[in-house]
Amino acid sequence: MFEYLDDAIFAFVISDGENLFAARDLLGIKTLFYGRKNGVLYLSSELKSLIGITDDIHEFPPGYYMDSTGTLFRFAELPKSQPEILHSDPNEMAETIRDIIRRSFQNRVNFEAPTGSLLSGGIDSSVIAWMAGKAYRDKFGKDERLQTFALGVGESEDITCARLMADYIRSNHHELIVDLDQILAVLPQVIWSLESFDPSLVRSSVSNYLISKYAREQGMEVLLSGEGGDEVFCGYLYLKDFPAEELFAQQMKCIGFLHHNASLRLDRMNLCNSVRVVTPLISGELLKYAMAIPSEYKQRPDGDQKIEKWIFRKAYENVLPKEIVWRLKQEFSQGSGSADVLPKYFEATVKDEELKEAKSSYPMVRSKEELYYFKIFIEHFGSGRAVETVGQWVSL
């Protein structure tokens, strides 16, 4: 009945007043919720729209559709076993990766609206900014410069590396330096828009919110992002702990959690600032190809260590500065600095007794930092079924 489109991003409801059809894309890039009360079915793209109408609130699962009876049916799912392994030469794989990403970029980016690029100085955002800088000059002239944007708490590592990359691609670079007070001030707005209290997600969302707001103030309507590289090429550092034979299953868990993590952050933090985000690395074609790449090319053994995203780095080692290509992976909140200041602040300000008491009623609260975010969340959304819609990352 429903053929899934690899690059389709959607969450929609169609109704003629009697019949209904609703669906959400496989990766859950767009959000959708539903609830029932007195025999009436309610659907909304945001949790907050259902609060006050019904307590029976659920997240609409990715890869499903719903018919007029309110019954959910799966139309697509991530593979449970790895496709046939590629046996190509790594150089050939690297070339194919570049070709796929180039096609994805060309299909998504047209510069018809004022467009900038987020630039953290990591390999993912640097690849996209490099491609965007070239495409921008091709379209508008060799002397024209792409707008790039970086955020940091003080002189963070992201700021330093983004500066290096901006010089390399000759972009018109903007830096937003923030402090703890500025971060604390926007937390209520971030959690209201994000509809989550997960610490790692909130930390990175604060950074995303602030830089998106700043970019919009500079006239940007579209921001390019390198999100997706960690999921596609196994870039998360904790994946180094798994043997090669378990890596694919862990990768599918990462991809299956996108709708509670990076895609949720990007969707909510940019849209609330009237900015549309474009993510060329979240591509069905790229994901399918990467699934078949041998595990040892994603997490490359190097002595007693592993190099994460090795094949992706190799694909761009001859076009980007080596300091960028081989920079150790850092989460957005780590590189920008918010991952350091927020846990320390809440550890010092929230009492041990307060956390212990909260855990007795709300066992999902795992830390003082999470307790602070949780309190803001339940002020907005209550402590009922809305809490169950929140995905919690395994690591704080």
Task: State the DSSP string of 43-104.
Answer: EESSGGGTTTT-S-EEEPPTTEEE-TT--EEE-----SSPPPPP---HHHHHHHHHHHHHHH
Six-digit token pair at 198? Answer: 């997960």
Six-digit token pair at 57? Answer: 């609130």
Six-digit token pair at 250? Answer: 């862990």
pLDDT on residue 337: 59
Distances (CA, A) of 198 to 163, 313, 351, 365, 377: 30, 30, 19, 9, 10
* d(C-alpha 44, C-alpha 157), whole Å: 39
**SS3 call for 23:** strand
pLDDT on residue 336: 53
* d(C-alpha 302, C-alpha 80), whole Å: 28
Give the pLDDT of the chain (396 residues) as one tens digit per residue. Answer: 344 446 778 999 999 988 999 999 999 999 999 999 999 999 999 999 999 999 999 999 999 999 999 999 999 999 999 999 998 899 999 999 999 999 999 999 999 999 999 999 999 999 999 999 999 999 999 999 999 999 998 878 889 999 999 999 999 999 999 999 999 999 999 999 999 999 999 999 999 999 999 999 999 999 999 999 999 999 999 999 999 999 999 999 999 999 999 999 999 999 999 999 999 999 999 999 999 999 999 999 988 899 999 999 999 999 999 999 999 875 544 445 567 899 999 999 999 999 999 999 999 999 999 999 999 999 999 999 999 999 998 765
Tell me 5's DSSP state: P
Question: Please, is 34 exposed, middle or buried when counting C-beta atoms within 10 Å of its C-beta (0-12, 13-18, 19+)?
Answer: buried
Task: Give the fold, CATH level 3, of 90-340.
Answer: Rossmann fold (3.40.50)
Six-digit token pair at 339? Answer: 């991952």
pLDDT in tens, 217-267: 999 999 999 999 999 999 999 999 999 999 999 999 999 999 999 999 999
Six-digit token pair at 292? Answer: 């078949």
Q: What is the 3-state secondary structure (H, E, C) of 293-360?
A: CCHHHHEEEECCEEEECHHHHHHCCCCCCHHHHCCCCCCHHHHHCHHHHHHHHHHHHCCHHHHHHHHH
Task: Tell which residue, 344, 328, 374, 360, has the closest CA to residue 120.
Answer: 328
pTM: 0.92
Give the sign of the dihedral formed by CA 200, CA 201, CA 202, CA 208: positive
* d(C-alpha 127, C-alpha 148), whole Å: 13
Sequence spans of domains, the chain: 11-74, 90-340
List CB contacts of 142: < 8 A, sequence separation 6 or more. none
pLDDT in tens, 13-42: 999 988 999 999 999 999 999 999 999 999
Q: Which amino acid, one-letter code, is at 185?
A: A
pLDDT on residue 333: 46
Beta-bridged to residue 34, according to DSSP, are 43, 58
Task: State the DSSP string of 100-161.
Answer: HHHHHHHHH---SS-EEEE--SSHHHHHHHHHHHHHHHHHH-TT---EEEEEEESS-HHHHH
* d(C-alpha 266, C-alpha 279), whole Å: 9
